Structure 1
């Protein structure tokens, strides 16, 4: 008889999410200054839960609703990193990252000449607890400061704003180009220097039902008009490229690394990268992740002083930005390269029947019908 014992979380293999985000809620009633910070892989469903339209939600939001979702921070590489961000956003006065670096103490010795070991004293937090800590402007200034500091300024994070009020708070400007008045004026104009960082204004709201959305708004599902929580657009485009690549290597199931002489095994999607450019002609450049990482780390953006090195080893471990070594001209974030790896892994598991991923199955079916057309158009 098979065992029914649940697998401990630590034994489960890591799975990168297609979307995991942190969000800021604010009551519908404009006069209220209350806010709520949370995290979710599905913003639309989570807002319905907070508004008691679906099971779930939080005890705090049951009392002060209904709520609007004002802001979304997304692009986290794992649920764990999103939860860490959420906690720091909720408790900036307690986070060790939201305070100046500890002051190094001068060495002290005992009367016998032995060195006294003492811990460096912590500096006061940037945002100490006070009556305005939970107000919308404070929460926006906290998250802007977070996005400008390590470790978060090295993650491929982006921001989505869902209302004109959220845009106003993010810009931190009143009529006349003056900063909004607050106790935290020194953080009113924090600069986020990370290359590739985007702030998307999506005034149609998280449910897309306000009729204020502009043409070309990024990150939407063309079919539903909602946030693309399953990474459908990216998944379809990348899966089509993978089909072209795998067809070329249909016999050997191997490809050549652009950066080293060793072969690439297409059956191991998490060991290599396939160019994620969406332009034409299609670039099928492949490289081992370790090779591409070294290539990316030579870029000026990865070695910039704006991004601190590892505090112990004195070097950057994970790249942030780089260019395709295949010569197609694509440049972008390391996070997009990793997205491509997980897209190929999920697709292979769906085909093999190992996992169920309905939205990705739809992607595979759609791309299977179109990849041959794409191939024939490229060959003509």
Structure 2
């Protein structure tokens, strides 16, 4: 079997879904496209899950999600652990917050009932265990009451999250009004264009504001391409030894604008881990730190996303930089025409 290497996805997340009709009805899932997935759960496009197909519970809303997973497999592992906290091996038995009190016919423990508090408490626990604590994750909240419940649990939890874990809120000015306006459609009237994800009057807040492609990394990716295309990599910013591209090694680029600091992947990793200090001997991957050249903050997850795009995502990079390259070529043509010279 051939293993197909792919770049880190632009977005892959694990989300918490809540019925706007009955707040006690909750669902956990994963997706690379939250707006499309929400439309599926609400019956506006084909797909969705059987558990969310009841019209009496629609419309659903995504009240929170965790983004930054390096692959669909990583997201599915996190989703399974959050859905099954009573049996997940990622949670030490002494730290469990959920316990099964019943058994299935096959003898396996039944999944305990969910509540918003239980999901948020287990989310907090998962983000603090070694299996996930150092992943480049971000927590997003799209409902004020859910965020408030999260803060309450964070204040009383015994184990604290790492201080650099980003928590983002986006409630939107008309969040309640928009959610109330979404009605479950008549299945017989669902248009074909809706099946392909076409939507009108799409909100600009919450899950609809999340970047679904690599556009936020465009300038960073373009800089990395130029550095290696024109062989401006120089010496490693950490070990100071020359970087030889024909050695077949992996090299990471500083993510800060204007900085062309390049280093061996192993050197970057060791340097950032030393800077973290309290990471512990068991830590293999860093979270982030300061670039040794520009002294600006860098995040390991962002650097790895650019690196995997550069070495594995040639089609994605070509698509991302296509417009920019077209404009550059057009400018060169205009300059050539202006001087009356033909560019060879």
TM bucket normalised to smaller: 0.7 to 0.9
Matched, 1:136 2:116: yes
- SS for the counterpart of 2:256 is coil
Asked if structure 2 preserves the Cα contact closer than 8 Å seen for 1:253 and 1:267, the reply is no
Matched, 1:259 2:238: yes
Asked if structure 1 preserves the Cα contact closer than 8 Å seen for 2:225 and 2:310, the reply is no
C-alpha deviations, 1:331-369, integer Å up to 9, x for none? 23211110121233466x23xxxxxx4x96244423664
- SS for the counterpart of 2:65 is strand
Q: CA deviation at 1:370?
A: 7.0
Asked if structure 2 preserves the Cα contact closer than 8 Å seen for 1:195 and 1:321, the reply is no
**Structure 1 stretches of 5 or more lacking a match?**
1-7, 101-122, 174-178, 180-186, 212-219, 310-314, 351-356, 374-380
Asked if structure 2 preserves the Cα contact closer than 8 Å seen for 1:51 and 1:66, the reply is yes
1:23 matched to which residue of 2?
15
Correspondent of 1:11 among 3, 10, 15: 3
Matched, 1:272 2:233: no
Q: CA deviation at 1:204?
A: 2.6
Distance change in 2, residues 1:190/1:295 (3 Å):
same
Asked if structure 2 preserves the Cα contact closer than 8 Å seen for 1:148 and 1:192, the reply is yes
2:323 matched to which residue of 1?
365
Distance change in 2, residues 1:66/1:129 (3 Å):
farther
**Structure 2 stretches of 5 or more lacking a match?**
102-110, 180-202, 332-344
Whole-angstrom CA distance in 1 between matches of 2:300 and 2:124: 22
Matched, 1:62 2:22: no
Whole-angstrom CA distance in 1 between matches of 2:243 and 2:95: 53
C-alpha deviations, 1:139-198, integer Å up to 9, x for none? 11110111111111111111111111221221127xxxxx9xxxxxxx943554324211
Asked if structure 1 preserves the Cα contact closer than 8 Å seen for 2:218 and 2:320, the reply is no
Distance change in 2, residues 1:34/1:225 (3 Å):
closer
C-alpha deviations, 1:209-230, integer Å up to 9, x for none? 959xxxxxxxx999x9621021
Distance change in 2, residues 1:28/1:367 (3 Å):
farther
Which structure: greater helix fraction?
Answer: 2
Equivalent runs, 1:114-133 vs 2, <5 Å: 123=94, 125-129=96-100, 133=113
Distance change in 2, residues 1:41/1:192 (3 Å):
farther
Using the size of structure 1 for normalisation, the TM-score is 0.67
Distance change in 2, residues 1:370/1:153 (3 Å):
farther
Asked if structure 2 preserves the Cα contact closer than 8 Å seen for 1:23 and 1:38, the reply is yes
2:342 matched to which residue of 1?
none
C-alpha RMSD over aligned residues: 3.6
2:183 matched to which residue of 1?
none
Asked if structure 1 preserves the Cα contact closer than 8 Å seen for 2:42 and 2:53, the reply is yes
Whole-angstrom CA distance in 2 between matches of 1:336 and 1:199: 16
- SS for the counterpart of 2:9 is coil
Asked if structure 2 preserves the Cα contact closer than 8 Å seen for 1:21 and 1:40, the reply is yes
Correspondent of 1:92 among 81, 85, 93: 85
Equivalent runs, 1:161-200 vs 2, <5 Å: 161-172=141-152, 188-189=156-157, 192-200=160-168
Q: CA deviation at 1:97?
A: 2.5
Asked if structure 2 preserves the Cα contact closer than 8 Å seen for 1:37 and 1:86, the reply is yes
Matched, 1:72 2:65: yes
Distance change in 2, residues 1:143/1:267 (3 Å):
same
Equivalent runs, 1:304-323 vs 2, <5 Å: 304=279, 309=281, 315-323=282-290
1:5 matched to which residue of 2?
none
Q: How many residues align?
A: 295
Indicate the structure whose relative CO is greater, using CA pairs within 8 Å and at least 6 residues apart.
2
